Amino acid sequence: MKGWSDLDNAAKIFPCTSNEERRNLFGLYFYLTEPVDPALLAEALENTIERFKVFKVRLRTGIFWYYLEENRRMPEVFPESPYLLSPIEPYANNGYLFRVSYFENKIGLEVFHSLTDGYGAMQFLKALVYTYLRLCGHEIDPEGLIRGESESVFEEYQDSFQKLYDAGVKVDTSEKRACLISGTRYEDGWLGVICGSVPKDAFKKVITEYDCSYTQFLTAALTWSAARVPHLFRKTKKYPFQVFIPVDIRKRFETKTLRNFSMVVRTSILPDPKVSFADCVKLVKEQITEASKDEAFLPRVYGNIRSEKIFLLRIVPLFLKNIVMRAVYNRLSERANSFCLSNLGDPGIPTGMQKYIDRVIFSNGATHSAPINMGVTYYGGKVYMTMTSAIMERDLQKQFFRLLTGLGLPVTLETNDLETE
């Protein structure tokens, strides 16, 4: 990257809405079969960042907008902090919008969402781990699954949302209020983690019985579980339980961008313990199917793009934009999500790398209004469901995993050190 570039359309909201309770971070973690060598990891990072110039940037504050500027310094690697997804301090991280960490056999990548989405971060981390393993002396065929020097780098920089814009289409910026989870918050920004894993073949049999996808099944399981813990919703329990689901749309619109390029699907169902799980699956499937159609989600994308094309808004100073955007976000978007479920699917690891990687985990950060969220990956014949929580209560997680075991799925659970019973 030379000079500077605008933030992509989806990225613009994150700098002005980020704070201690809404960090807008997510994390990807590769667990290797051998301990990590920090010196080789640092060398691998220096090599990899030169290929992924789209990530070799720092965030700058302009008169009218935030923007990305080429970062001439090198990123560093850090020992992993016990505080998952702690704020990325620019001065401690050479200005980078991501943080690479290590602990025993684990390599982590934690990312500020203005830089990229889960897909883009996964491509970067795969290349980093591939480069690290090569430096360790392992010969690995990339099998076309690792971004190489011969690929078009230009398209990786593109804000592909702009290619979708149609000025003649009626936009939709409406938001429906959701019930919000509340509980006892951890001190000092601690995030509790519960990671459940299930053999993928067993999971496949269950979702086949319910005639749904993994994401549809998990959304239904979360919605069904939420109906059984009404005490977590307190004053907002009269509103529907709404699951926010980011969906990668690169294949649909044929782009190789490494910047944010996802649409949002949202289910909205009133919590009702009388509704059976099978009926919940049907409702969720219907809503996701409808919301995934172009005519349903494109007007929302157009609404976001149109606002940044209005000349009078473009020339409003950034400090005023921040005030307005923060107020609108707090009033509308922040209240529209009960839970975020992000499913990255199979990361696409080359066969030669798989014998050195034990598992791949995705942690979706928690926020003030949605203090429990889930990240999902498939790897090594297993489905990994990682629940990240900013509150101590575990009622929703218990209902969710008990449902899975009640359906005959063998669930293995792991937690971090400060988990409560």
Tens of pLDDT along 226-242? 999 999 997 788 999 99
DSSP state at residue 186: P
Fold adopted by 4-164:
Chloramphenicol Acetyltransferase (3.30.559)
Domain spans of the chain, in order of start: 4-164, 187-415
Q: What is the pLDDT of residue 42?
A: 98
Tell me the helix, strand and coil percentages in the chain, rounded to 5. Answer: 35, 25, 40
Per-residue model confidence as pLDDT tens digits over 256-289 = 999 999 999 999 999 999 999 999 999 999 999 9
Per-residue model confidence as pLDDT tens digits over 49-74 = 999 999 999 999 888 888 999 999 99
What's the rounded mean pLDDT across residues 416-421? 57
173/216 Cα distance (integer angstroms)? 24
Write down the residue that tokens 């109906």 correspond to.
227
Contact between residue 343 and residue 248 where contact means Cβ atoms under 8 Å apart: no
Q: What is the pLDDT of residue 63?
A: 87
Confidence bin at 24 (pLDDT 50/70/90): very high
Separate counts of helices (H) and strands (E) for the chain = 13, 15
Return the closest-CA partner of residue 76 out of 106, 44, 104.
44
DSSP state at residue 134: H
86/387 Cα distance (integer angstroms)? 16
Return the closest-CA partner of residue 193 out of 412, 410, 388.
388
pLDDT at 357 over 90: yes
- Number of other CB atoms surrounding residue 178 within 10 Å: 24
Selecting from 3.30.559.30, 3.40.50.150, 2.40.160.40, 3.40.50.970, what CATH number does the domain 187-415 have?
3.30.559.30
Q: Kindly report which listed range (3-17, 118-132, 270-284) carries the lowest average pLDDT score.
A: 3-17
Helices (H), 52-98: none
CB half-sphere exposure, 319, CA atoms < 13 A: 0
6/308 Cα distance (integer angstroms)? 11
What's the rounded mean pLDDT across residues 220-227? 98
332/369 Cα distance (integer angstroms)? 12
pLDDT at 311 over 70: no
Whether 187-415 and 4-164 are alike in CATH topology: the answer is yes
DSSP state at residue 34: S
Higher pLDDT, 296 or 130: 130
pLDDT at 420 over 70: no
38/102 Cα distance (integer angstroms)? 7
Higher pLDDT, 11 or 206: 206
Burial of 185: CB neighbours in 10 Å, binned 0-12, 13-18, 19+ = middle
What is the distance of C-alpha 132 from the center of its chain?
A: 24
Burial of 61: CB neighbours in 10 Å, binned 0-12, 13-18, 19+ = exposed
- Work out whether the CA dihedral 269, 413, 398, 110 comes out positive or negative: negative
Q: What is the pLDDT of residue 417?
A: 61
Contact between residue 386 and residue 361 where contact means Cβ atoms under 8 Å apart: yes
Confidence bin at 10 (pLDDT 50/70/90): confident
218/385 Cα distance (integer angstroms)? 9
Confidence bin at 149 (pLDDT 50/70/90): low
Q: What is the pLDDT of residue 131?
A: 97
Run of H or E residues at 129: helix 118-135
Q: What is the pLDDT of residue 419?
A: 47
Contact between residue 122 and residue 347 where contact means Cβ atoms under 8 Å apart: yes
pLDDT at 170 over 80: no
Whether the model clears a pTM of 0.85, i.e. scores above it, the answer is yes
Per-residue model confidence as pLDDT tens digits over 328-349 = 777 767 789 999 999 999 999 9
pLDDT at 421 over 50: no
Q: What is the pLDDT of residue 154?
A: 79
Q: Kindly report which listed range (23-32, 75-84, 330-339) carries the lowest average pLDDT score.
A: 330-339
What's the rounded mean pLDDT across residues 143-166? 83
The Cα angle at residue 34 between residues 30 and 39, in degrees rounded to 5: 80
Confidence bin at 418 (pLDDT 50/70/90): low
Tokens of 73: 């310094």
Strands 98-103 and 77-79: parallel
Per-residue model confidence as pLDDT tens digits over 374-401 = 999 999 999 999 999 999 999 999 999 9
6 phi and psi, to 5 degrees? -70, 155
Higher pLDDT, 207 or 330: 207
The fraction of the chain above a pLDDT of 90, given in percent, is 69
